[in-house]
Amino acid sequence: MKVFLKKYKEVVISAIALTMALLVEHVWTFTGSQYVYLVFYGISYLAVGGPVWIKAYQSLKKGNLYSEFFLMGIATIGAFAIGEYAEGVAVMLFYMIGEYAQHGAVHRARHSIKKLIDEQPDRALVERNGDTIEVHPSEVKTEEIIKVRPGEKVPLDGVLISERASFNTSALTGESKPATIRENGEVWAGYINEDRPVRIRVTAAFEDTKLSGILEMVQDAAKRKAPTQRFISRLARVYTPVVVWLAVGVTFLPWLVVENYVFQDWFYRALIFLVVSCPCGLVISVPLGYFGGIGAASRNGILFKGSDFLDRLRRMKTLYMDKTGTMTKGVFEVQKVMAHNGMNENEVLSYVAALERDSTHPIAKAILKYANGQNRYEADNQQEISGKGLSGQIAKKEVLVGNRELLEDHKIEVMDAGDTAINTLVYLSVEGKHTGTVSISDQLKEDSVSAIKELRRQGVGKLVMLSGDNQEVVSFIGNTLGVDEAHGGLLPDDKYRIVNEAIGKEKIIGFVGDGVNDAPVITLADVGIAMGGIGSDATVETADVVIQADQPSKISLAIDISRYTHRIVWQNISFALGIKVFIMILAAFGLANMWAAIFADVGVALIAIVNAIRIQGKYSGDGFFSIFNFTDSQEETEKEAHTCCDSCG
């Protein structure tokens, strides 16, 4: 209660003084009571009206005649001038309550995003000179070893040195199921160690962690406006002056046409116009809706880099997708090694492993894991042939390792590898002869099939798979998933060309991928989506939407959030404008009083805010009463109170 009274002292003082004024005026009448209740009305008005008049003065100094503060002040002074003291005070009091509710809602929306900041640990246990010391994570250098005890958060990105560990990754991925990571696996800042003490070799500085990047992206997202937001901001700049001049007209024009013109009556109606004219509730509820959508998405492991992308995703009708690491697990396993033209299987594996030794491609990692360090050869002059494979020299012999197209480009006859249509094949050529084939399998992610079905249900009419893998594998995966088209054997340039040709011919086009070779296409698409869980930094950097978990089903969830957000935003726009116009019409005919104006301003704003908060409630679990947060510091309260959106002045 003490925190409540301190934070909302203006409203509390005003409400008490207003109550006393009403009691003295209508219940406890005595000689000279009118002077007493006028004093109480004055105290009540100054408590909430003083800060508003200060803001009005500041806006007038900037040349803004139509700020909500000045218009509200004029309306309330006018109410006092014609003896409507209670109504004049009530306008300011309920306006201030509305302001607190608005700022509380914005704070809650921001809090749902900035809660990520709490995931950044402020201490790290680092091994130095034979001791373990506690320092701030920013003081830890890359390649140093840190320890993380059970229940603690990982302070920095790194590689697990311990044999294995279980981590809660929900802060970054939105996935509640613990992840088991084994030795040499990647660990990110913000993960929570669940079962045993572990040691981690740091690979990124404090400011370069994945979590820091997420925070920066989400904070930047709040600055990017959707078309609807820009429309409402422009509307507010026109709407307010129009209503003000209508109020002037309502005051004086009837004198020309009304036989029994009473200035006080028409002036009262004009005051109602001034109160109704404030567009703050309308303008704040729109960005609040988008901000709530961004926050709710981030709580579910989906990062929108701006509300414009939130708005664009709901209109996506065509989605192009990568295969490996996006719709499949991207965790390959060697199934079979085949030898041809006189070479044995061990030699085939050793040659391929030697050339793939420095590659970071998932297929190369699978081959090296299968070889288990038993490769006997050293490769020289390795060169990458984009989208096809590698070339080099082993024991002064010319060696090629890659896909079928690589060997065919070098006029090398390819031997039959048998029935391997659903596997990826890696071919080996030594001195111009096909000497071996490695068959490698990948698996669909658990939710890939259901994700495609859900995308269909949401109206994404065309689904196309683009992959560098061989056509047989891509066709098999495409048929299993149920996509419309599946194109294999593509180079990065081919993917770019296909998507580029579709842009302009089709409605909003999206592309989802995870590898560095997908970055150009993600940049090109109307909506670029990165599977950020295992995606490359380049891909995440260029994407418009980042799926932190490796779950294709999150794409449909992102679409669902974007559509629900859009629906809530337009409900607020229609409701707010409709009520305001309706009350103004009633006021013009003398059928509305100041209390109706208060509802059209503060009441409509509160209803719009509650409606916007439904987004957070549906996807994040936050309720309406959470906007009245009593834990903020006084400094935060003073910073947020008595302010409105930029569009209102």
Q: What is the pLDDT of residue 637?
A: 38
User: Phi and psi for 162 in degrees, rounded to 5?
Assistant: -65, 165
Q: pLDDT for 565-584, tens place per residue?
A: 999 988 888 888 888 889 88
Let me know: does 273 contact 239? Beta carbons within 8 Å: no
pTM of the model: 0.64
Q: Is the pLDDT of residue 58 over 60?
A: yes
Q: Is 374 exposed, middle or buried (0-12, 13-18, 19+ CB in 10 A)?
A: exposed
State how far the Cα of 504 lies from the Cα of 285, in Å rounded to an integer: 33
Alpha carbon 199 to chain centroid, angstroms: 32
CB-CB neighbours of 618 under 10 Å: 15
3-state SS assignment for residue 536: coil
Cα-Cα-Cα-Cα dihedral sign, residues 271, 272, 275, 277: negative
Q: pLDDT digit string (tens) for 122-145? A: 789 999 988 899 999 989 999 999
Please determine, for residue 370, whether its predicted confidence score (pLDDT) is greater than 70.
Answer: yes
Q: Is the dihedral of CA 610, 615, 619, 620 positive or negative?
A: negative
Q: Which of 81-85, 180-184, 417-421 has the highest mean pLDDT?
A: 180-184
Q: Is the pLDDT of residue 473 over 60?
A: yes
Whether the predicted pLDDT of 343 surpasses 80: yes
Residue 226 main-chain phi, psi, to 5 deg: -80, 160
Decide if 322 is catalytic: yes
- % of the chain beyond a pLDDT of 90: 19
Q: What domains, with CATH codes, occur in the chain? A: 2-114+220-293+562-648 (no CATH), 142-204 (2.70.150.10), 302-329+444-548 (3.40.50.1000), 333-441 (3.40.1110.10)
What does the pLDDT look like over 203-215, one tens digit per residue? 988 877 776 666 5
DSSP codes, 566-591 = HHHHHHHHHHHHHHHHHHHHHHHTT-
Catalytic residue, from 157, 308, 311, 322: name it: 322
Which range is least confidently modeled, 337-346, 410-419, 632-641?
Answer: 632-641
Structure confidence by residue, pLDDT tens digits, 8-19 = 788 888 889 989
Q: How many residues does the chain have?
A: 649
Please say whether the beta carbons of 617 and 292 come within 8 A: no
Maximum alpha-carbon separation in the chain = 119
> How far apart are the C-alpha atoms of 106 and 259, rounded to whole Å?
50
30 has pLDDT over 50: yes
Identify which has the larger pLDDT, 514 or 453: 453
Answer whether residue 522 shows pLDDT above 90.
Answer: no
Q: Are 564 and 585 in contact (CB under 8 A)?
A: no
What is the DSSP-derived secondary structure letter of residue 153? Answer: B
Classify the C-alpha dihedral 415-417-418-420 as positive or negative. Answer: negative
- Closest to 244 in 3D by CA, of 282, 281, 262, 271: 271
Residue range 440-452: average pLDDT? Answer: 89
Q: Cα separation of 527 and 229, whole Å?
A: 19
Contacts 24+ apart (CB under 8 A), 342-346: 342/435, 343/430, 343/435, 343/436, 345/436, 346/374
Task: Report, as an integer, the average pLDDT of 549-565.
Answer: 91
Mean per-residue pLDDT, 16-26: 88
Please check the confidence at residue 7 and state whether its pLDDT lies above 80.
no
Whole-number CA gyration radius for the chain: 33
Residue with tokens 């050793």: 350
Query: Which is more confidently placed, 8 or 481?
Result: 481
In this structure, of 78-87, 346-355, 577-586, the range with the lowest mean pLDDT score is 78-87
